[in-house]
Amino acid sequence: MVSGIRILIIGGLATGPKAAARARRLNPDAEITIIEQGDFVSYSSCGIPYYIGGQIPNFEDLVNTPVGITRNPAYFDAVKGIKVLLNTKAVKIDREQKKVYTVRVDSGEETALPYDKLVIATGSRPRRLPFEGMKLKNVSTVWTLDDARKIREQLINGNVKKVVIIGAGLIGLETAEAIRQARNIPNKPPEVTVLEALPHIAPAILDPEISDLVRKRLKEHHISIHTNTIVRELEGDENGKVRQVITDQGNYPADLVLVTVGATPNVALAEDAGLKIGITGAIAVNEYLQTSDPDIYAGGDCVENINLITGKPAYYQNGAVANRHGRVIGTNLAGGKDIFPGVLGTTVFKIFDHTVGRTGLTERQAREEGFEVITSIVGGSDHAHFYPDARPLVIKLIADRATRRLLGAQLVGTGNVDKRLDTIAVALSTAATVDQIANFDLAYAPPYNAAMDVLHHAANTLRNKLDGWARSIGPQEASSMLQKQDDIILVDVRTSREFEKNPPPFNNVAFIPLGKLRAMSDQLPKDKELLIYCQVSQRAWEAQRILQEKGFEKVRFIEGGLLAWPY
């Protein structure tokens, strides 16, 4: 610990305040200053969509501590012994003189602040569409607290009936959901249309099979989704207010347009100072989160991380990661040697009554990295079926055929998704194989789990496929086959009650309950493709084995069953 060390931190959202607080706890004698160009410090930007929709009713909740104390310069001074300078923009880093030149946003006053150790936590900035229409009234990004307040005011006071969201990534989908559930507005929630240039929603974090299930839920809640749609122009009226969004697929009327097309790291300050920029376009740091200058640390959305699966640099924006960065940096500022090992890209978000999660590599990413990919999609319940209120979820696992190592997972459902997601994230951190995951000693009691968790079933399905027992087909491939071939026979092995309550979404269906399949298998042709399904695919897998034993060669089961069928 260095007595009297001067620590200067650029950026006051997540990494910066966390680093400052950690350094203060370990070094009571340090002189710690945070400079932040905005009006607020240490606020929860992840809550912005829900403030816009009114689910978080009070703006102050985003900037307060859990006990209701506002995080402002006075709070940091009194509680942390940390000086915070708001509305202060860093414009230059002089590494030789160890000074940061700043300018007051409100007055233009210039100052040079000395440092012994510097932290760059400048975050990222939203991408903007290259149109003049971005300057129209009622066109906004969803990025800052100022954005949030303006959008909320427009929903309350602006007679907004149609909202168009450009970009179906995480922020866009969360905002769409929040607006459709908008509270405390004079009229009913606006119509919401989401436009996405790529073939499926959440393309950076989900594979098509899980993305399509999310899309299905959004449509059920009257959110209009248009993929493969390129925005050409934003058109305004005679008063300079946005009127419609013009795309290559048609025009969409809008009273409010929200642009959520991703973000890029804020690296200009670091780049001008001669610090190394990584291959992702973000600041390069080592395991201690030091930049190419050992007296300058960096963390949060402005840096690149190491992907724990590939071992390669990756750019990943996440508030939880930014906070963990801050703790590591704070420890090292106080003389420690803490390291940040890397990230898995773990993400979770809410879509109405469904939870969506992912961690590790998507199937597309795994293939691009050269892995010999094998996947499984399994449906199930989050606790024992005989205990009340069991809720469904779907899991997709991605593994490497050669090593049987798990590479990634995606989940969706009304059931307890986050519990399984966190378990899988730990498994990925330890390079676990599907064989190990199938034998995880997970907690069991009927209110909390089934004797074999749905995660066990997903891992065992992969094992059965790897060992040549299971013959399956994913829902997307099955849908494509059904569109191209009309001689495929679908075999429904559910009970009569299930069949009547939930008729199949297919044509050319042979209904044979599993208990009658052995006796009635001779009614099925052996020269045609047979695709078997049930509700979650467990009985369908058993039916595939029965028919295979009876000499059927062209037989597969549809993974995930009807629960995972989004079409």
C-alpha dihedral sign at 559, 561, 563, 567:
positive
The CATH class for the domain spanning 6-39+86-123+264-333 reads alpha beta
Specify whether the CB–CB gap between 413 and 454 falls below 8 A.
no
DSSP 79: I
pLDDT of residue 3: 67
Decide whether 6-39+86-123+264-333 matches 472-564 in CATH topology.
no
Cα distances from 232 to residues 130, 133, 166, 206, 223, in angstroms, run 9, 10, 11, 26, 22
Query: Looking at 2, 31, 38, 46, which residue is catalytic?
Result: 46
Tokens of 527: 């020269």
Cα–Cα distance, 421 to 359 (Å, whole number): 7
For the sheet with 99-104, list strands across it.
88-94, 99-104, 110-114
Closest CA to 547 of 563, 567, 523: 523
Specify whether the CB–CB gap between 408 and 309 falls below 8 A.
yes
Give domain 472-564's CATH number out of 3.40.250.10, 3.40.50.1000, 3.40.50.300, 3.30.1230.10.
Answer: 3.40.250.10
HSE-up (13 A, CA, CB side) for residue 227? 13
Cα–Cα distance, 264 to 417 (Å, whole number): 29
Closest CA to 166 of 44, 256, 46: 256
The CATH class for the domain spanning 353-466 reads alpha beta
pLDDT of residue 185: 87
- Backbone dihedral angles phi then psi of residue 417, each to the nearest 5 degrees: -75, -45
Cα–Cα distance, 434 to 131 (Å, whole number): 48
Domain ranges of the chain: 6-39+86-123+264-333, 132-261, 353-466, 472-564
Tokens of 460: 């065992």
Per-residue pLDDT of the chain (567 residues; tens, 9 = 90+): 566 899 999 999 999 999 999 999 999 999 999 999 999 999 888 999 999 999 999 888 999 999 989 999 999 999 999 999 999 999 999 999 999 999 999 999 999 999 999 999 999 999 988 888 999 999 999 999 999 999 999 999 878 999 999 999 999 999 999 999 998 888 889 999 999 999 999 999 999 999 999 999 999 999 999 999 999 999 999 999 999 999 999 999 999 999 999 999 999 999 999 999 999 999 999 999 999 999 999 999 999 999 999 999 999 999 999 999 999 999 999 999 999 999 999 999 999 999 999 999 999 999 999 999 999 999 999 999 999 999 999 999 999 999 999 999 999 999 999 999 999 999 999 999 999 999 999 999 999 999 999 999 999 999 999 999 999 999 999 999 999 988 999 999 999 999 999 999 998 999 999 999 999 999 999 999 999 999 999 999 999 999 999 999 999 999 999 999 998
HSE-up (13 A, CA, CB side) for residue 425? 18
Cα–Cα distance, 359 to 461 (Å, whole number): 19
Please, which residues have CB within 8 angstroms of residue 405's CB and are 6 or more apart in sequence? 399, 431, 432, 433, 434
DSSP 284: P
Beta-bridged to residue 226, according to DSSP, are 195
Tokens of 478: 């099955």
Cα–Cα distance, 70 to 67 (Å, whole number): 9
Cα distances from 177 to residues 55, 350, 442, 473, in angstroms, run 11, 8, 33, 32
Specify whether the CB–CB gap between 121 and 21 falls below 8 A.
no
Cα–Cα distance, 446 to 15 (Å, whole number): 41
Cα–Cα distance, 209 to 456 (Å, whole number): 20
Closest CA to 395 of 539, 561, 532, 533: 561
Cα–Cα distance, 536 to 393 (Å, whole number): 10
pLDDT of residue 453: 96
Catalytic residue status for 46: yes
HSE-up (13 A, CA, CB side) for residue 544? 27
Q: Left (φ > 0), alpha (ψ -120 to 50) or beta: where does 50 sit?
A: alpha
Cα–Cα distance, 90 to 96 (Å, whole number): 16
Cα–Cα distance, 549 to 342 (Å, whole number): 47
Closest CA to 84 of 129, 121, 35: 35
Q: Is 178 helix (H, G, I), strand (E, B) or coil?
A: helix
Q: Is 146 helix (H, G, I), strand (E, B) or coil?
A: helix
Beta-bridged to residue 206, according to DSSP, are none
- Backbone dihedral angles phi then psi of residue 305, each to the nearest 5 degrees: -115, 175
Superfamily of domain 132-261: FAD/NAD(P)-binding domain (3.50.50.60)
Beta-bridged to residue 242, according to DSSP, are 236
Tokens of 127: 């991408």
pLDDT of residue 99: 98
Residue type, position 50, single letter: Y
> pTM of the predicted model, to two decimals?
0.94
Cα–Cα distance, 287 to 290 (Å, whole number): 7
Tokens of 191: 């119509």
Placement of tokens 């199937």 in the chain: 363
Specify whether the CB–CB gap between 436 and 443 falls below 8 A.
no
pLDDT of residue 486: 86
